[in-house]
Copies of this chain bind each other. A is one copy, B any other.
Amino acid sequence: MSVRILLPFFLFFSFLANAGPLQTAEQVDRWRQSHEQQIVDGFAELLAIPNVASDHANIHRNAEHIAAMFRDAGMDTELLQVEGGNPVVFAERRTPGASRTVMIYVHYDGQPVNPGNWAGDPWHAVLRTDMVENGGEEVPMKAPFDPSWRIFGRSAGDDKAPLIALHSALEAMQATGIEPTVNLKLFIEGEEEAGSPSLTRVLATYKDKLAADLWLFCDGPAHQSRRWQLVYGVRGADGFSLTVYGPNRPLHSGHYGNWAPNPIMLLTELITSMRAADGEILVDGFNDEVRPLTRAEEAAIAASPPMEAYLTNEYGIGAPEPSDRVERAITRPAINLRGIRGGDVGARARNVISPSATASIGLRLVPDQTPAHLHAAIERHIEAQGFHVIHAAPTAAERRRYPRLARLDWSTAGYPAYRAAMDNPLAQKISAILNTLSDNTLIQTPTMGGSLPLYLVENAVRSPILILPIANHDDNQHGANENLRLQNLWDAIEIYAAVLSGL
């Protein structure tokens, strides 16, 4: 019999042998109701420590504070450090008799802030009745709390929320006598928003310590439907800057217009040659390596709730690019125009033909695409449009020689996608627990649209990786007025406790 057919029996007996996720959740929920003030105060304290990855003094304050939190919750902690990198807070708690180890990944650094765009100080947490955009008003940070209220501060959602939720779950389990059924490890990174520059070295240096049967990433926003979501993969990311050239100085558009080549025209033609308006990629060979979706993955997409009407209304979109489910669209590779710039617009526009125009182009990779193959395909495509491709500023001689000259600067941080198999037994067990805790069916997402360097972890530790996001989808992550909805925090505490005691 296959694992798939055996699994329901296994889960049934597994539930009998433990307290059961529902019972655990109820106990933890009661504890939480009487400790909300303490949880919120602890969160505000954590959010008060600035956490931009380049702010090394405060990054260390965060790391020490978080390590102390998890020591208090009964874990052994350690700062994993490699030269030049921000410390990873590593925490561990062995469970006597447990045969499996779960590693939970969180990051404590946050995106830089532009305080002028915030309604308040990004590093001083406040409570509001709703999103700022919806007219949410500040309320005292005193219980009782309405669960639709939100805590505002940088990293409230991305990604300090899982820290406070995990810490609370562990405290609740201690207080109520619920024992984990697995060995627990935490890997709490301090430079995720800076592109995880030391992650590879940390994974290599501390490889033995980081072994686990599953890495569970707790990062990113949950589904817009507010149903719980388990994500099996991420897209890879890559990108390049593309500059094309006109005259070597701005030329008067009257004296030379429709004679001197206009780089904005050359760039718009090149862009439209690479990508159709519906998102279809027109670059030969770009899709060569794409791993097709399995039937289970197709079925999971079909079963996910249709969000298109909500999204088009919420984001003011007349019609999406492809007439397809968003969940399916993001299982395809993407060429995304991040930016374009040439000459000037608005009041600064001048009647000139500009010396150059530049586009910033992002790529999203799906399994099993490789950056090397895509770089080659794109460069071949640009050459096929008549461009001479260079990788540095052109010399005067090159400008004179080549009618079409394109400078490509590839990101040095491109990386492949990752997707775990949906029939992984631990994944199926977590799914079952999450389905037990909610009246709504868990959403299983083969690939989320965003990118994380999960391939680094997979390469280093060879464990399956899943993503369990807990923050509200409208948490304004990376932007101003980032927030966490209290109900998401309360739910996350229950989920962590149920998973840790139910696996």
Which A residues contact B (CB, under 8 angstroms)?
235, 237, 239, 241, 245-262, 264-269, 271-272, 275, 277, 279, 311-313, 315-322, 324, 326, 329-330, 332, 334-346, 348-354, 357-360, 362, 364, 396, 399-405, 448-451, 478-479
Contacts and interface: CB of A to CB of B under 8 A. Distances in A.
B396 A317 contact: no
Given A338-B351, A351-B237, A262 B321 contact: yes
A269 B337 CA distance: 13
Contacts of A339: 264, 342-345, 348-350, 354
Given A339-B344, A358-B346, A257 B334 contact: yes
A464 to B, nearest CB: 21
B248 A235 contact: no
Contacts of A257: 330, 334, 336, 362, 364, 449
B256 A337 contact: no
A255 B448 contact: yes
B315 A403 contact: no
Copies, count:
2
A258 B276 CA distance: 10
Contacts of A342: 337, 339-341
A27 to B, nearest CB: 35
Given A237-B254, A345-B340, A349-B360, A277 B271 contact: no
A330 B360 contact: no
B343 A340 contact: yes
B315 A449 contact: no
A360 B346 contact: yes
Contacts of A312: 400
B248 A316 contact: yes
Contacts of A317: 246-248, 260-261, 399-400
A235 to B, nearest CB: 6
Given A330-B259, A340-B343, A248 B315 contact: yes
A272 B269 contact: yes
A258 B358 contact: no
Contacts of A348: 339
A346 B360 CA distance: 7
A261 B345 contact: no
Contacts of A399: 316-318
Contacts of A335: 258
A248 B341 CA distance: 20
Contacts of A319: 261, 403
A344 B315 contact: no
A252 B449 contact: yes
A330 to B, nearest CB: 7
Given A259-B320, A317-B399, A318-B402, 16 more contacts: A246-B317, A247-B316, A253-B338, A254-B330, A255-B449, A259-B322, A262-B337, A265-B277, A266-B277, A267-B340, A318-B404, A338-B349, A339-B350, A340-B357, A344-B360, A346-B358
